[in-house]
Structure 1
Amino acid sequence: MSNQQISDVKLLLQKWGREVCGDLDPSGIYCFGSLIYQDGAQFNDGSDVDLLVTMPEIPDGIERANWLERLLEHKTRLEDDLGKLLRRRDRSALICSVVAVTPLEIAADLHKGGSPAFFSENNFLNLDTGAVEIGVAGAGTQPIAERLVGECVKFTQNFRNQYLGVNALGDERLEPFTDPTDAAPKQCMRHAAMVRFLEDDGDGDPGAEYDVDIGANRLTVLLDERRGQLRDLVARYGSRRGGRTARAPLSSKDQLLLAELVFDAAVRVEAKPAATEAAPKKPSTHGAHSTVTFAERFASAFPGVRGVEWFNDDKAIRMRLARLLAEPLEFEDSTPFWWSRGSSNLHISHYEERDGIVMINFDEMKVRRVAAVNCRLHQAFSKVPKRPIENIEFSHDV
């Protein structure tokens, strides 16, 4: 295809983009794929036109579906205009593929096909500025942590793409759902089951996140919550779940609404603050002075010691240090355990011994021997020479 033809296609897309912006105020419209890769060198008579439309911030699924319904009208006209410009004889063939995403999906950098870093590392022609940009602004800044939420987001994004897959004749790629058995498309029910699984904190039976019966029930609840706005869809869905009325088909818009409701429910799970365990309450010394607490622990670790006594046996060292620095080391009303390294005095909050290595707080050391020094109450301490840094001392808070 000639450079002039490629330029004409881009100009047509920019004109279309301005019309959409004037009517729907999207956050951005971009072109990607073969039309802009290597200046369109691989774009030919049978190539598709790939567009990305970033929706404005629309937190409600019903309102998003209505917005997409209006975008569909613009997209159908674009199909007709592209077919004429490219002289495509088959008006039933789909020319343009539109990926419609929310700002959340851009921030999460989640593409319907699972392509990693799709929105952050691809080349995009900004139809507003006419400039080719690497990545969409904000892409990848807020990943989605929960895998199943991400699956629901990708599912809905793919459903939008199918919904917008209408050719110049108005033929829908997403056909009315008339299955004689299922209440809704299986993929929709499976992703609704994922939401239910997550809402139950993932403690359901293995495989429950893909159970279509569970998903069908969850869709019933989602629809009932919005029955005031979706009365007709509630009735049609109910007829497909064994109601007394004749079994009615689900239109493409009905199916889109179900997908957007699943999207909203999944996003609510992701946004739910993680249950934070209450920090365990520190014990109290009940008014005892820190020297008393330390003296009791010292007497347990070094019973009978008077003055200065050295311990060189490795087993005895481990046993005595484990007693001296056993939990609890922190109290709500006192900090009895400290260690000294050179001129620094540091509170001890953690102690463990593993494979002959001692860890105090975040410092590891190899202990050679221990001296227990028991003088007056406020002067009792334990001296621990070790490798490779200078000697340290454990003492009470004086």
Structure 2
Amino acid sequence: MNLEAVVRCARDWWNRVGESIETSELYLFGSSIYRDGMQFDSNRSDLDLVTLIPDSARTAVDRFHWLVELAKHKQKLELELVPLLQRASAASSAVSLIPLTSDELAADVHKSKAKSFFAGNRFLNVRTGEEFPGLPGAGIAGDRPPLIAQALEYAQDLRCKYLSVPATGKTNALQWTSEDEPMPKSAMRCVAQIAAGNGRDAKEDERFDVNVGFSHFNAYVFQMRHVDAMYRSLYDWLIARSGGRGAREGLSSDMHLFVTEAIFDLAVSSDNTASKASKTLPGTSAQTRQEVISHAPLHVVFHINRSGHLAGDHDTLIAATTEATFNLKWRNQPYLNVRMAEKEVKDEIAACEQRGDASARVRRIALLDEQRWQAIKRSDLERGFQLLLFFQRVLFPNDLTRDQVLVLAMQSYALLCQERGLPKASSFGGPLVAENPNLEDTPGPESIYFGIEAETLKAYLRDTFQDDSLLHLGANPQSLRSFPEDMVAINFVPLLVKALLDSMPTVVDIPGKSEEYVEVACELKYWTVGVS
């Protein structure tokens, strides 16, 4: 790829765009400029661009019209880049364009949920050729509350999808229809979190309730219906979708974009903790924030013995989990390390090779098998421990017992990983089934089968039903939160962690890029336990 030609093409295109709509600076980032574009594949990689939405487009209506016009111009850039990038097909978009509001930039919010994304990457100003170690102004306002930030991430993601126009013409990336739902379920969940996040309109345990989300959005649009004809049309659509008069139609891509921008405005107006972001001049603020949050990682090691047990006394393990939690909080990698008994196995293999007799050769095969399982289990353990530690407050909300049950969950998860290397392992699993309807239509597990030690389970049944028969649980499923916390940590949480990791890409950064459904799954109050 001729980077100079690509930059010139983008600059000329952006100048033409500026003749019809207001624009600010345009930046190139990502693999096209990283290490002189060594990792950029012109036939497969996206050309990553980002620009700031002008302050004149501060409202949902103004942003909507600005984005619609930008999408028309975007196709022309795609057409011009096809020969420059030597793309085999023009049917898919070659350019990923992120239009940022000043609110998103000031809070350094990125659609991938990656922390310090705009402060931590390098950006090339397409007009001036100047390269910045961080987008100017990124992160200067600090973090938004998580339930508000998720809405900004949501809106940014859908904006980018709307702008994913290929050279062949406009797509219907945001077109939506459903016979069952009144509006996109992801939008309703997003609004429910906004309602819970402002501390006024919903309780914390309602933050994934789609009915709460729909009701809250409906109320907001009702208040805005006289502000602009777009809001009036949206209000009429919502009424029809919820059973009122009017045609029960789906969402066009354009109307879905406006819904998204309305949700964005609702989120920003609901944030009680942050002052509105102001436009900032290019300088060192982004670098300064990156310097503040960057920190050498604490060296944390969890040791696993050959029987699969997490080694160490209670105080030592608490200290290690506290240090690893600090690394995860501040994204200091590596977050933690897991050490297996590799040297012990390696030395035993060498001894067998030195002996060389028949029994030693047979033993050597078993040891080589153990050695390979150690490598597999180390990866599973590191990812599982990261997930447990990062979501510990969601999994175990009781501050007084959290450390204790967290260690129990980690010890039990280590034994679950050990089982993967043992033939006919059967310690996990059982007659109980936990179900979480909030994970429907997500990659996460809707149900998990697990077991509890017989006497412990009978004691729970007697306390709950005055009888130790499982039939009671089959007829009257109970919230998982009603079970003793240590019982859940030992018997259910390890299986949940394994199921979540199986649903996630192996390379995903758990603190930075875990999807929303992972947190939903870790909210144990959403799980109901019955009999399989």
Q: 1:41 — aligned with what?
A: 38
Contact 1:92 1:171 in 2 (8 A): no
The 5-angstrom pairing of residues 287-366 of structure 1 reads: none
Q: Distance in 1 between matches of 2:234 and 2:200?
A: 29
Q: 1:219 — aligned with what?
A: 217
Q: 1:233 — aligned with what?
A: 234
Inter-CA distance 87–240: structure 2 relative to 1 (3 Å threshold): same
Q: 1:107 — aligned with what?
A: 106
Q: 1:96 — aligned with what?
A: 95
More displaced, 183-192 or 244-253? 244-253
Matched letter for residue 105 of structure 1: E
Q: Distance in 2 between matches of 1:258 and 1:237?
A: 11
Inter-CA distance 82–169: structure 2 relative to 1 (3 Å threshold): same
Deviation at 1:273, TM superposition (A): 7.8
SS of structure 1 residue aligned to 2:258 = helix
- Paired residue total: 270
Asked if residue 24 in structure 1 is aligned to residue 25 in structure 2, the reply is no
The 5-angstrom pairing of residues 355-394 of structure 1 reads: none
Asked if residue 8 in structure 1 is aligned to residue 9 in structure 2, the reply is no
Deviation at 1:42, TM superposition (A): 1.9
Matched letter for residue 141 of structure 1: I
Q: Distance in 2 between matches of 1:185 and 1:10?
A: 38
SS of structure 1 residue aligned to 2:96 = strand
Contact 2:202 2:212 in 1 (8 A): no
Q: 1:131 — aligned with what?
A: 130
Inter-CA distance 175–141: structure 2 relative to 1 (3 Å threshold): closer
Contact 1:144 1:270 in 2 (8 A): no
Matched letter for residue 3 of structure 2: I
Query: Can you list the C-alpha shifts for 1:313-340, whole angstroms capped at 9, x where unaligned?
Result: xxxxxxxxxxxxxxxxxxxxxxxxxxxx
Q: Distance in 1 between matches of 2:268 and 2:274?
A: 12
Q: Distance in 2 between matches of 1:60 and 1:20?
A: 21
Asked if residue 79 in structure 1 is aligned to residue 78 in structure 2, the reply is yes
Q: Distance in 2 between matches of 1:56 and 1:213?
A: 34
Over the aligned positions, Cα root-mean-square deviation in angstroms equals: 2.0
Unaligned segments of structure 1, at least 5 residues: 275-398
Q: 1:197 — aligned with what?
A: 196
Query: Can you list the C-alpha shifts for 1:103-141, whole angstroms capped at 9, x where unaligned?
Result: 111111111101121111211110121122111111111
Q: Distance in 1 between matches of 2:61 and 2:178?
A: 24
Contact 1:166 1:173 in 2 (8 A): no
Q: Distance in 2 between matches of 1:31 and 1:182?
A: 39
Contact 1:193 1:209 in 2 (8 A): yes
Q: 2:297 — aligned with what?
A: none
Q: 1:374 — aligned with what?
A: none
Q: 1:270 — aligned with what?
A: 271
SS of structure 2 residue aligned to 1:210 = coil
Contact 1:28 1:55 in 2 (8 A): no
Deviation at 1:243, TM superposition (A): 2.3
Contact 1:193 1:214 in 2 (8 A): yes
Deviation at 1:200, TM superposition (A): 4.2
Q: Distance in 1 between matches of 2:44 and 2:253?
A: 27
Unaligned segments of structure 2, at least 5 residues: 276-532
Matched letter for residue 47 of structure 2: V
Higher helix share: 2
Q: Distance in 2 between matches of 1:158 and 1:54?
A: 15
Instruction: Give the TM-score of the pair, scaled to structure 2.
Output: 0.48
Deviation at 1:202, TM superposition (A): 7.2
Q: Distance in 1 between matches of 2:252 and 2:202?
A: 34
Q: Distance in 2 between matches of 1:271 and 1:29?
A: 31
Q: Distance in 1 between matches of 2:69 and 2:78?
A: 15
Q: Distance in 2 between matches of 1:245 and 1:173?
A: 24
Q: Distance in 2 between matches of 1:95 and 1:177?
A: 24
Contact 1:165 1:173 in 2 (8 A): no
Matched letter for residue 266 of structure 2: A
SS of structure 1 residue aligned to 2:217 = helix
Inter-CA distance 273–19: structure 2 relative to 1 (3 Å threshold): closer
Matched letter for residue 259 of structure 1: T
Matched letter for residue 75 of structure 1: K
Deviation at 1:198, TM superposition (A): 3.0
SS of structure 1 residue aligned to 2:20 = helix
Q: Distance in 2 between matches of 1:203 and 1:249?
A: 27
Larger Rg: 1
The 5-angstrom pairing of residues 232-271 of structure 1 reads: 232-271=233-272
Contact 1:162 1:173 in 2 (8 A): no
Q: 2:48 — aligned with what?
A: 50
Matched letter for residue 219 of structure 1: F
Deviation at 1:35, TM superposition (A): 1.1
Matched letter for residue 222 of structure 1: Y
Higher strand share: 1
Contact 2:161 2:174 in 1 (8 A): no
Contact 2:144 2:274 in 1 (8 A): no
Contact 1:65 1:256 in 2 (8 A): yes
Inter-CA distance 52–273: structure 2 relative to 1 (3 Å threshold): closer
